[in-house]
Amino acid sequence: MVYLHVPFCRSFCSYCDFYSEIACRDRDAQDFEAFTDAVCAEIALRRDEIEATRDLDTLYIGGGTPSVLPLSLLRRMAAATIMTGGPFNEFTIEVNPEDIVERGAEYVRGLLALGVNRISMGVQSLDDGILRWMNRRHDAARARQAFRILREAGAQNISVDIIFGLSQLSREQLETTVAEILSWRPEHISAYQLSIEPGSTLGRLVREGRYTEAPQEQCAAQYALLCDRLRAAGYVHYEISNWALPGFEAVHNSAYWTRHPYVGLGPSAHSFDGQRRSWNPSDLIAWLRQQTPDSETLSETESREEQIFLGLRTARGIPEGLPDPVRTAAMLADGRLIKIDGGRVRIPEERWFVSDDILAELI
């Protein structure tokens, strides 16, 4: 199970706090080549770690914006990873609609030829005003065109991202976006509530008093709308932020929630061996110089709490004996916060929006 972080973007979205660098077209070739050389070197260096996770054969290339890279460099990195840890049953790459439109169907066919069999595209909204506020590079028309190109080029497993919980996002705007995306019939949909990250442009706007967060009531209503519309359309709500047509649940992401060991490659990427967590520096130059990753070893208590926290994000839940029985009993008495069936503890879907509060009580 391998994650590869591509730290390049053409522009920064207002809400994003993931580590990335602006890719300037006048030095793209030099930066991209150096990055690719370093990834291949890291793969060779960490061969034993990668081989140790081969029981779950997934590769996820995220970012940043991996689709800014040319096929030739993606091919080199994919080949090096496959030689060490592949072939991969699920090979996901994140793409931006603008890149797909600019590069066209030939680029998509090239991705599929590398072994990519799942494509995750950040649409976020189909309202042009919202997209401009987010500083996204695409507009609604380009998102539609990009999805059409992916399909026509042969992509059969597409995931689409949506963002809700913006103070200026009306119910009608969200309904329009959801209805059209459902008409596309992607195999997977991820919907994330807007979060205020301190290092993002949005975080600065909040500190300056230029943006006010949406009230929880508005966010809860928008989440409920998503749950209702996607359920009616036949999507399985298998994790708080993720829905899939039956059989298309994300294998790679699901493994994070069960704490499966994974290897993270590239700047800022995290790794986990079951007990020890490590992370590469969130700095391209430091990572290129092979700076030693930071790490921590989780205690038994920390591991147990993480199992509870991650497992209860999912429809599958956690084993009945994992949480404290006294706290579990108290919450069961409420009748709405958690439920137990088949020997597993679950948070009902109608309470997922306030799952953080429930988890705080349970842990």
DSSP 8-state symbol, 214: P
4-18, 79-93, 110-124, 326-340 — most confident range:
110-124
pLDDT tens-digit map of 138-149 = 999 999 999 999
DSSP classification of residue 314:
B
Q: Report the relative pairing of strands 339-341 and 236-239 from DSSP bridges.
A: unpaired
15, pLDDT greater than 70: yes
Report the DSSP beta bridge partners of residue 344: 319, 341
Q: Do the beta carbons of residue 276 and residue 296 sit within 8 Å?
A: yes
Looking at the DSSP assignment, which residues form a beta bridge with residue 163? Answer: 192
When mean pLDDT is compared across 78-87, 112-121, 325-334, the lowest value belongs to 325-334
Token match 């649409």: residue? 123
Query: In the predicted model, what is the mean pLDDT of residues 182-193?
Result: 97
The domain segmentation of the chain, as residue ranges, is 2-257, 298-363
| 309-345 confidence digits (pLDDT tens) | 999 999 999 998 888 887 787 777 776 788 888 889 8
Q: Which CATH class name applies to 2-257? A: alpha beta
- DSSP 8-state assignment for residue 18: S
Q: How far is CA 204 from CA 7, 194, 200, in A?
A: 22, 15, 7
Q: What is the pLDDT of residues 213-239, one digit of tens each?
A: 899 999 999 999 999 999 999 999 999
Confidence of residue 180 (pLDDT cuts 50, 70, 90): very high
- As to burial, measured by CB atoms within 10 angstroms (0-12 exposed, 13-18 middle, 19+ buried), residue 288 is middle
Mean pLDDT across 351-361: 88
Containing H/E element for 329? helix 325-334
Mean pLDDT confidence for 80-89: 82
Average pLDDT, the chain: 91
Tokens matching residue 236: 């399985």
Phi, psi for 155 (deg, rounded to 5): -70, 125
Give the percent of the chain with pLDDT over 70.
98
How is residue 9 written in tokens? 């973007």
Please state whether beta strands 318-319 and 344-346 pair in parallel, antiparallel, or not at all (unpaired). antiparallel
Alpha-carbon radius of gyration of the chain: 21
Find tokens 């040319």 and name the residue: 70
Which helix (H) or strand (E) covers residue 264, if one does? strand 263-265
Which pLDDT score is estimated for 204? Answer: 87
Q: What is the pLDDT of residue 27?
A: 67
Q: How far apart are CA 195 and CA 202, in angstroms?
A: 9
